[in-house]
Chains A and B, each alone.
Chain A
Amino acid sequence: MAIPGTPTRRAFLKGSAAAVGAVGLASHPLAFALAQAFPSRNVNVVVPTREGGGADRNLRAFTGVWKKYLKTNFEPGFYPGASGRVGYEVYMGKREADCYNLIFGNMGPELLNWVVQKPTFDINDYVYFGRVDTDPGCVFVGAKSPFQSIDDIVAAGKKRKLNVGTSRLAHPASIGILALGEHTGAQFNLIPLSGGKNTVAGAVTGEMDFSVLTSGAVAARGDAVRTLLVFNDKNLLGERLDNAPTMNDHFGTDLPPMLSSRAFAIHTAAIEKHPDRFKILQDTFKQVFTDPEYKPVVLKAKGNWEYINYGGIEECKAYAKDIFEIGERFKPYLTGKS
Chain B
Amino acid sequence: MELQLDLYGPLFLHTLSYWWVIFPSIFLGLLVGAIPGFSAANTIIILLPLTLVMDVEVGLIFMVALYCSSRMGAGIPAILVNIPGTAGAAATPLDGYPMTKAGRGQQALAMSFVASSLGGLLTTVLALLTMPWLAQVGYYMHSVEMIVVMLFGISLIASIAARDTLKGLIAGFFGLMIGSIGADHVYATPRGTMGFLELYDGVPLIPALVGLFAVSEAFLVIEAQSILSRHSRDLLKTAGWSATLEGARIALARWWHITWNSIIGLVIGVIPGAGASIASFVAYQQSRTYSKIPEAYGTGHPEGLIAPEAANNGVTAGTLIPLLILGIPGGATAAVMLVVMQYHGVIMGPHLFSDRPDLGYGVFMAMAVTYLIMSFTILPLSRYMSKVTLVSTAYMAPIIIAFTLVGSFVPREYMFDMALGLVFGVIGYIARKTGYHVAAILIGVILGPLLEQYFLRALKMSEGDISVLFSSNLGNVLWVALFVTVLTPFALDYKRRRQRAAHG
Which residues from chain A sit less than 8 Å from chain B, CB to CB?
A: 51-53, 57, 78, 80-83, 85-86, 89, 116-117, 120, 143-144, 161, 163, 168-170, 189, 191-194, 197-198, 200-201, 204-207, 220-225, 300-302, 334-336
Asked whether A335 lies within 8 Å of B187 as measured between CB atoms, the reply is: yes
Q: Which residue of A53, A78, A198, A334 is within 8 Å of B273 (Cβ)?
A: A198
**In the complex with contacts A189-B463, A205-B142, A224-B326 CB distance below 8 A:** yes
Asked whether B273 lies within 8 Å of A85 as measured between CB atoms, the reply is: no
Tell me the bound Cα distance from A338 to B65 in angstroms: 50
Asked whether B336 lies within 8 Å of A52 as measured between CB atoms, the reply is: yes
Say if the beta carbon of B497 comes within 8 Å of chain A.
no
**In the complex with contacts A78-B413, A201-B272, A223-B351, A191-B457 CB distance below 8 A:** yes
Asked whether B457 lies within 8 Å of A193 as measured between CB atoms, the reply is: yes
Tell me the bound Cα distance from A194 to B201 in angstroms: 11
- Name the residue of chain B whose CB is nearest to the CB of A225: B327
17 extra interchain contacts, Cβ-Cβ under 8 A, other than A57-B343, A225-B327? A51-B45, A52-B336, A82-B183, A82-B188, A163-B461, A169-B187, A169-B188, A191-B457, A193-B457, A194-B453, A198-B273, A200-B327, A200-B328, A205-B326, A223-B351, A224-B327, A302-B342
**In the complex with contacts A80-B412, A197-B335, A302-B198 CB distance below 8 A:** no
**In the complex with contacts A82-B183, A197-B335, A224-B143 CB distance below 8 A:** no
- Name the residue of chain B whose CB is nearest to the CB of A299: B345
Q: Which residue of A53, A86, A117, A189 is within 8 Å of B198 (Cβ)?
A: A86
Q: How far is the CB of A309 from chain B (nearest CB, A)?
A: 21
Say if the beta carbon of B253 comes within 8 Å of chain A.
no
Q: Which residue of B45, B187, B198, B463 is within 8 Å of A161 (Cβ)?
A: B463
Say if the beta carbon of B380 comes within 8 Å of chain A.
no
Say if the beta carbon of B3 comes within 8 Å of chain A.
no
Asked whether B350 lies within 8 Å of A169 as measured between CB atoms, the reply is: no
Say if the beta carbon of B329 comes within 8 Å of chain A.
yes
Q: Which residue of B327, B343, B350, B461 is within 8 Å of A302 (Cβ)?
A: B343
Say if the beta carbon of B257 comes within 8 Å of chain A.
no
Asked whether A81 lies within 8 Å of B327 as measured between CB atoms, the reply is: no
Q: Report the interface size for chain B: residues with CB under 8 A from the other chain.
A: 42
Say if the beta carbon of B339 comes within 8 Å of chain A.
yes
Asked whether A207 lies within 8 Å of B142 as measured between CB atoms, the reply is: yes
Tell me the bound Cα distance from A84 to B329 in angstroms: 22
Say if the beta carbon of B349 comes within 8 Å of chain A.
yes
Ranked 9 nearest A-B pairs via Cβ: A82-B200, A224-B327, A222-B347, A52-B45, A224-B349, A201-B272, A207-B142, A201-B328, A336-B187
Q: How far is the CB of B73 from chain A (nearest CB, A)?
A: 21
**In the complex with contacts A51-B45, A117-B188, A168-B188, A224-B453 CB distance below 8 A:** no
Say if the beta carbon of B133 comes within 8 Å of chain A.
no
Asked whether A189 lies within 8 Å of B461 as measured between CB atoms, the reply is: yes
Can you report 26 A-B residue pairs in the complex whose CB atoms are below 8 A from each other? A51-B45, A52-B45, A52-B48, A52-B336, A80-B412, A81-B198, A81-B200, A81-B201, A82-B188, A83-B183, A86-B197, A116-B188, A143-B350, A169-B187, A193-B457, A197-B272, A201-B326, A201-B328, A220-B342, A221-B327, A221-B349, A222-B351, A224-B328, A334-B187, A336-B186, A336-B187
Q: How far is the CB of B409 from chain A (nearest CB, A)?
A: 13
Asked whether A207 lies within 8 Å of B143 as measured between CB atoms, the reply is: yes
Tell me the bound Cα distance from A144 to B186 in angstroms: 27
8 Å CB interface, B31-77 against A: 44-45, 48
Tell me the bound Cα distance from A225 to B328 in angstroms: 11
Residue from B186, B189, B328, B329 whose CB has the most chain A CB atoms within 10 Å: B328
Tell me the bound Cα distance from A35 to B29 in angstroms: 48
Say if the beta carbon of B138 comes within 8 Å of chain A.
yes
Q: How far is the CB of A279 from chain B (nearest CB, A)?
A: 32
Residues of A within 8 A of B483 (CB): none
Residues of A within 8 A of B187 (CB): 169, 334-336
Say if the beta carbon of B231 comes within 8 Å of chain A.
no
Asked whether B139 lies within 8 Å of A206 as measured between CB atoms, the reply is: yes
**In the complex with contacts A200-B327, A223-B350, A302-B273 CB distance below 8 A:** no
- Name the residue of chain A whose CB is nearest to the CB of B42: A51
- Name the residue of chain B whose CB is nearest to the CB of A207: B142
Q: Which residue of A82, A163, A189, A204 is within 8 Å of B327 (Cβ)?
A: A204
Residues of A within 8 A of B48 (CB): 52
Say if the beta carbon of B230 comes within 8 Å of chain A.
no
**In the complex with contacts A204-B326, A205-B138, A89-B197 CB distance below 8 A:** yes
Asked whether A81 lies within 8 Å of B412 as measured between CB atoms, the reply is: yes
Residues of B within 8 A of A169 (CB): 186-188
- Name the residue of chain A whose CB is nearest to the CB of B336: A52
- Name the residue of chain B whose CB is nearest to the CB of A53: B339
**In the complex with contacts A81-B197, A201-B138, A191-B463 CB distance below 8 A:** no
Q: Which residue of A85, A144, A302 is within 8 Å of B345 (Cβ)?
A: A302
Q: How far is the CB of B294 from chain A (nearest CB, A)?
A: 35
Residues of A within 8 A of B460 (CB): 189, 191
Tell me the bound Cα distance from A297 to B423 in angstroms: 45
Asked whether A83 lies within 8 Å of B188 as measured between CB atoms, the reply is: yes
Q: How far is the CB of B187 from chain A (nearest CB, A)?
A: 5
Residues of B within 8 A of A193 (CB): 457
Tell me the bound Cα distance from A205 to B329 in angstroms: 12
Q: How far is the CB of B444 from chain A (nearest CB, A)?
A: 20
**In the complex with contacts A52-B45, A52-B48, A206-B139, A192-B198 CB distance below 8 A:** no
Q: How far is the CB of A108 from chain B (nearest CB, A)?
A: 16
**In the complex with contacts A80-B412, A81-B201, A191-B461, A204-B345 CB distance below 8 A:** no
Asked whether A201 lies within 8 Å of B349 as measured between CB atoms, the reply is: no
Q: Which residue of B322, B327, B343, B457 is within 8 Å of A301 (Cβ)?
A: B343
8 Å CB interface, B306-349 against A: 322, 326-329, 335-336, 339, 342-343, 345, 347-349
Residues of B within 8 A of A225 (CB): 327
Asked whether B343 lies within 8 Å of A85 as measured between CB atoms, the reply is: no
Residues of B within 8 A of A335 (CB): 187
Residues of B within 8 A of A205 (CB): 138-139, 142, 272, 326, 328
Asked whether B463 lies within 8 Å of A86 as measured between CB atoms, the reply is: no
- Name the residue of chain B whose CB is nearest to the CB of A142: B326
Asked whether A204 lies within 8 Å of B328 as measured between CB atoms, the reply is: yes
Tell me the bound Cα distance from A50 to B328 in angstroms: 18
Residues of B within 8 A of A191 (CB): 457, 460-461
Q: How far is the CB of B490 from chain A (nearest CB, A)?
A: 35
Asked whether A197 lies within 8 Å of B349 as measured between CB atoms, the reply is: no
Q: How far is the CB of B212 from chain A (nearest CB, A)?
A: 22
Residues of B within 8 A of A82 (CB): 183, 188, 197, 200-201
Tell me the bound Cα distance from A51 to B198 in angstroms: 17
Residues of A within 8 A of B44 (CB): 52
